[in-house]
Amino acid sequence: MKKKKMIISSQTMELDVVRKVEALSGTSVRRCFQCGKCSAGCPMATFMEHPPNRIVRLLQLGQWQRILAGRSIWYCASCETCSTRCPNKVHLASIMDALRKLSWDAEGPSKESYVQLANRLFLENIRSYGRQYEMRLAAVFNVKSGQFLKDLMLGPKLISKGKLKMFHQKNRNMAEIEKIFSRIEEMRKKGEAL
C-alpha cells in the first residue's frame, strides 16, 4: 500500500468512479446507508482490511485509490450473502465484481494472482467439460501456482466421500455451453458485460 496522508480531501474524491461502478454493476452505490448488515454476515470479512460496508463507503466518497491499494475486493467469495440480506436492495456482490473488473483494467492481473488464476481455471474447466472437473482444477492450480503439495492431504478424504471424482463427466450439450461463452465474450468486446 502506497504511503498516503490519512485524510480524504475534496481533491481526492473521484466521484465519477461511483457513476462508473453503478453503470457496470447495475446497482446503486449511493443507496447504501451504512447499516453494516453486509459486513455482519460476510464469511470473508475477517480476512479483509476494509469490511464490505467500508468498501461501499470509500466508494461513495470516491476513494477509488484506497480500494485499489487493498486486497479486500479479491477476498470476496461472491457468495452473495450480502446482496441477499441487504435491507436496501444494494447488490453488493455485483459492486465487488465491478470493482474487480476496474482493478483488472487499471492494474492487470498483478495482485492476488492466485484468486485470478483460480477464477480463470474454473471457467476454462466449465468451457471444456460443461461442468466442473475438480480433480483437474486442483491439479492445474497447484502446478501453475507452484504450490505442488497444497491441500494434498485433503484429496483422499474427499475421494472417499465421493466429493472428488477421478474422471470427468462431460455435459451432453457442449455446443450450448460454447454459445454462452462466446456470447459473453462478444458482449465484453462491446463493453456490455464485465
Spatial distance between the Cα atoms of 93 and 68, rounded to a whole number of angstroms: 17
Query: CB of 135: closest distance to another protein in angstroms?
Result: 44
| Residue carrying the nine cell digits 477476498 | 75
Query: CB of 191: closest distance to another protein in angstroms?
Result: 23
Out of 60, 113, 142, 145, which residue is the one contacting another protein (CB under 8 A)? 60
Region 2-21 residues binding another protein, contact defined as CB under 8 A:
6-11, 13, 15
Query: CB of 35: closest distance to another protein in angstroms?
Result: 11
Out of 25, 27, 53, 103, which residue is the one contacting another protein (CB under 8 A)? 53
Query: Using CB under 8 A as the criterion, what x/- string covers residues 63-102 for binding another protein?
Result: x---------------------------------------
> Between residues 56 and 138, which has the closer beta carbon with respect to another protein?
56
Spatial distance between the Cα atoms of 184 and 97, rounded to a whole number of angstroms: 15
Spatial distance between the Cα atoms of 189 and 179, rounded to a whole number of angstroms: 15
Q: Does 34 bind another protein (CB under 8 A)?
A: yes
29: exposed, middle or buried (Cβ count in 10 Å: 0-12, 13-18, 19+): buried
Query: CB of 65: closest distance to another protein in angstroms?
Result: 13
130: exposed, middle or buried (Cβ count in 10 Å: 0-12, 13-18, 19+): buried
Q: How many CB atoms lie within 10 A of CB 163?
A: 10
Out of 14, 20, 41, 57, which residue is the one contacting another protein (CB under 8 A)? 57
What DSSP letter does each residue of 123-189 carry, written as one string? HHHHHHHSS--HHHHHHHHHHHHT-TTTTTTHHHHHHHTTSS-SS----S-HHHHHHHHHHHHHHHH
Query: CB of 19: closest distance to another protein in angstroms?
Result: 9
Asked if residues 62 and 14 have their Cβ atoms less than 8 Å apart, the reply is yes
Q: CB under 8 A: which stretch of 49-57, 94-102, 159-167, 184-192 binds another protein?
A: 49-57
The residues binding another protein (CB under 8 A) are 6-11, 13, 15, 28, 30-31, 33-34, 53-54, 57-58, 60-61, 63
